[in-house]
Amino acid sequence: MEVLILKNNRFFTYVNNLGSESLGFYFSFILHLILLLFAIGLPNFFEPVPINIPNIIPIEIINVTDVTSIPKEIKEKKENTVKKAIAETKKFNNSEKQEIKKVDIKTKPKIEPKKSTKLTTPKEDVVIKEKIKTPIKLEKKIISEEKTESLPSKKIKPKIKPKIKTKSEIVDEKKTSDVIAKIQPKPKPEPQFSIASMLKDLRNERSSQTNEKKEKEKKSEITNDQEKEINKENLQLSISEIDRLRQQLSSCWIAPAGAVIKKGMIVKISAKIRQNRRVYDNSVRIVDTNISKSNSFYGPITESAMRTLLNPECIPLKLPKDKYDLWKNITITFDYSIMKGYQ
């Protein structure tokens, strides 16, 4: 029964119909995708829910004696016994609330002059048809346009002249002139009126309209180009933006109190930043450091570096909102070379 269902399934029929080459491609694509997902990891679609559970550190129970200090030998012996006792107390210490360890490509618009001729010719017919429907209006327009005949800009004329010369246009002209001649009932042409001039004017009007469109298109293309250029600029943070961030972070980087810092000590941390320019909880991590973990100042020095991004004075971070992609991940190197004077 299951086999039958599988056979009827569209997906399986599609897979069966696929050629061996395309099938192989799809399989390799899916496998590569899976491999990539394993290697790189899935992007964070959902924010992790922050859980505020403090690190549980056990409490050491220490007896403080009345007498100040004990000679070393006895102290050492006692320390061993105390350690054992502490270990025992840790095991059984469950009282109260003690916490235990278990506790774009820039496409320049190619303005081809030929395109304009192609566009104008078919449109003419359409417009004329409209004009046939409303002849009076047309006349008025023509008259008004006749009056303003001298107005058509010189810019348009040279564009139109070569168009008239084309064979197809001449044919069109004839056709349209015939149509107008037949349809117009008892036209009272004015002495200066001519079909050719009317067509000229219409073409001028049309061409002016198309030119306007073109100009608009050009403008929009230009603005698009500008935007693209701006976007390109946006692909990197400006020096002043980085300086502003650096200045802010420096004020939040409180040098580790009292720690002995040796020249050349470096701590590199990374963090993920939210779009609201706040650091993601628990995302601050040490990427690299040349301080040995056995160094008693390892903790204070690295903690002071990590604390910088969590300092309330650095929330929100002074970063440009529109360039989120550039700063969603941040790596900060704390160079202690100049901090030596603090010890």
Query: Which 3 state secondary structure label does DSSP give 20?
Result: helix
Residue that has been written with the tokens 């099938």 in this structure: 23
Min dist. Cβ of residue 91 to another protein (A)? 15
* Between 4 and 51, CB nearer to another protein: 51
Provide φ and ψ at 220, rounded to 5°.
Answer: -65, -35
Among 7, 157, 246, 321, binds another protein (CB under 8 A): 246
Contacts of residue 253, defined as CB under 8 A and 6 or more positions apart, other chains included, come to: 304, 305, 308, 334
Among 23, 36, 143, 183, binds another protein (CB under 8 A): 36
* Between 226 and 236, CB nearer to another protein: 236
Are β-strands 285-289 and 329-335 bridged in parallel, bridged antiparallel, or unpaired? unpaired
Min dist. Cβ of residue 279 to another protein (A)? 10
Is 324 an interacting residue with respect to another protein (CB under 8 A)? Answer: no
Min dist. Cβ of residue 274 to another protein (A)? 14
Is 47 an interacting residue with respect to another protein (CB under 8 A)? Answer: no
Segment contacting another protein (CB under 8 A): 64-72, 117-125, 180-188, 197-205? Answer: 64-72
Is 168 an interacting residue with respect to another protein (CB under 8 A)? Answer: no
Segment contacting another protein (CB under 8 A): 11-19, 168-176, 197-205, 241-249? Answer: 241-249
Q: How many CB atoms lie within 10 A of CB 332?
A: 19
Query: Which 3 state secondary structure label does DSSP give 279?
Result: strand
Min dist. Cβ of residue 342 to another protein (A)? 6
Between CA 239 and CA 256 the distance in angstroms is 28
Helix (H) or strand (E) holding 218: helix 195-234
Q: How far is CA 280 from CA 52, 162, 181, 284, in A?
A: 13, 66, 78, 8
Is 311 an interacting residue with respect to another protein (CB under 8 A)? Answer: yes
